[in-house]
Chain A
Amino acid sequence: MAQVVLSQINKFYDGAVHAVKDVNLDIRDREFMVFVGPSGCGKTTTLRMIAGLEEISSGDIRIGTQRVNDLAPMDRDIAMVFQNYALYPHMSVFDNMAFGLKMRKFEKDEIRKRVQDAAEILGIQDLLKRKPRQLSGGQRQRVALGRAIVRHPQVFLFDEPLSNLDAKLRVQMRVELKKLHQRLGTTAIYVTHDQVEAMTLGDRVVVMKDGLVQQVGEPLELYNAPATRFVAGFIGSPAMNFAAVTVTERDGGLRLVNEGLDIAAPPHAADRLRACLGREVTLGIRPEDLRIATAADPADFAFDALVEVVEKLGSEILLDLKVGRGAMVAAVEPTVRAVYGDRLRIALNPDRLHFFDAQTDATI
């Protein structure tokens, strides 16, 4: 069983910089777990601690049933794919892939068989005699993957492997990685700063910020029920709209008010919001949950906005709106006709409103 368990993992640099704070994580066997977050959030450091490339300041890491804190990287039965591929420039593709097996003193026939099998899976069997400098970016990436596969490790580690590829190739490789994982079934831990990769590849996703785990869950869980404002704003593109509103009472019902908005509190959140009566909360609504209001939309869930920029993407139109003193983005159908300067009435989907505490940024 190749589960990876992190218990109370901390990392200090030079005694002062607290790069990773109390991370607890249970990665299941055969799971594809993605670590996502902005630069400096601690995701790469955590990955490197799992790999054995960084000392663990405190806490335990277990791979399978083994506590690996004191084990050298070569003893942890893992394989890693680096952002820059890290192919050995003086060796052929075959030797690159065979290196790990040679170090572990495998038989020559076994080595050849494994390299051949992995090369076939990745479609690089014709490249085995070439040197890395003769390969394209995508081919190098495959060789790096092949090098990891031949070892049949317990866990695959990926450190932003697609970041160096151009946009189109990245999309293509994403799909192939997913297929590869479905086929091999090995536990995988994948680090990226791209939330699209996280959403499309991960069985579960860990969002990190400033060394802390913000939320762990399946991609749709993070999308629909973010635990903090950071997660809500990080996942989903274009990003969620935020507005600071005050919770007031009027005519027996709760209302959310700021300069540009005056809407009713949605029923599913009424109880939670009552506790915040009189205070400011942060309201969140995704661009795709806003649309141009029609006569049928209730006035309680609509507001006025001024169009500032119209971005025509073809599949949808993004309207950059001025709402009161704040700004919002609405993603609407491509058939909408709007120009700079138009005053529009925008309707929102009340079931899709999120609320966050103004101080702690936690979901209410």
Chain B
Amino acid sequence: MHGWRDELELRRLQEVMRRKLTRRGFLKGAGIGAAGIGAASVLPSCGGGIGTGETDVTPADLFGGPMEDEVHFANWPVYIDKAKDPETGERYSPSLRMFEEETGVSVNYAEVIQENASFFGKLQPQLQAGQATGWDIIVMTNGWEFTALVRNGWVYPLDTTKRPNFDGNALDWAADPPFDPGAQHSMAYQSGITGMVYNADLIAPIATLDDLADPSKVPPDSVGMIKADMPDFVMINLGIDPTTSGPDGWREAADWLIKQRETGVVRQYYEQGYVDDLTAGNLAASMAWSGDVFYYQVWGGYPNLEFVFPEGGGYLWTDNMMVPAGAANPVAALALMDWFYRPDIATMLQEFIFYMSPCAGTQELILEDAAAAEEEGSKGYANKLRATAENEYLFPSDELLARCSFGRQLETDEEKEEWDSIFEPISEG
């Protein structure tokens, strides 16, 4: 009599064969079923993680098939170039349209990711149950969600032989990030620096982290802190290297944050909505993401907002493209991911998004576009492009990068719990 494991083993082999044709793929065989959530937790010991270490499934297998017809790309809002179609009047993405025209693959692009945590929370039940999520590309910032996706085998390991543009053009920090050595599971999409911002109309310039806790520099209830970034940010500025830090370092950062809180200058610990308060003038200074500030400064009509790279250092992070397990169109996904590493395409993106492109060669191309715009008579636009190209944070020098650091990679649940128990209470009432 077949035990349920044998049954599943048989089904799994059959599914592996049919993998290319069905969306469910071979995930079904990974020991899930009607057994309920509890048993459905895919522990590495139970039938192997999905897509990790499986002897019969390698990246070459996953990405070796023919190119599919469509690809489903989930991304953050305001994270791709947009233009208006002169004929239909519809907004579309030029870079994606060019991809569609060159490859014949239709792209379903959806701006459905608002936060790493909520998107992860949404995908997790499906991934855990071995179901396809419907997405072929997702974009996640490096952090615990990223780590969880990789460690649980919930994203496919990429076929590193199939990304020529990446191999040729990826900048160093994108080609081999510390949180994903060799970029085996992800490809950087955009990167940014968390620094500080101040409203020049309200206060005098600030320069160091301590200024954010100094009542003589900032009025009470006028400072914003970004919850998810602040532990690493503070550690960097206290001289602690987050990537090698331990609970002692974390406690040091926590102490600083508590002291800051006691001075009464902090208005709110934001998930991400600090921009509203900044433009409204409710905040005099804040932690900030570089791209946000530059956007409002150059394009948004708020030249009074100044980005400050703290003396102690900046916090570097990357948003990464990944292929979730169960993706129906992995080959097309990889092709699209690699597409963004063409310098001309990367330039199109960067002229729209104010963050660091992982692709080399965009600076020159932006300057070319600026010159072209000037010739056509769009001086204002040309100036803005030039400002983009000359922005030292979009094209950081090596020394600037040396003063930046990625954050602490939490590897285990115990570490994460300790981290959370130290830092979460600070932002709670």
Whether both chains belong to one complex is answered with: no
Report which B residues bind A (CB closer than 8 A).
Answer: none
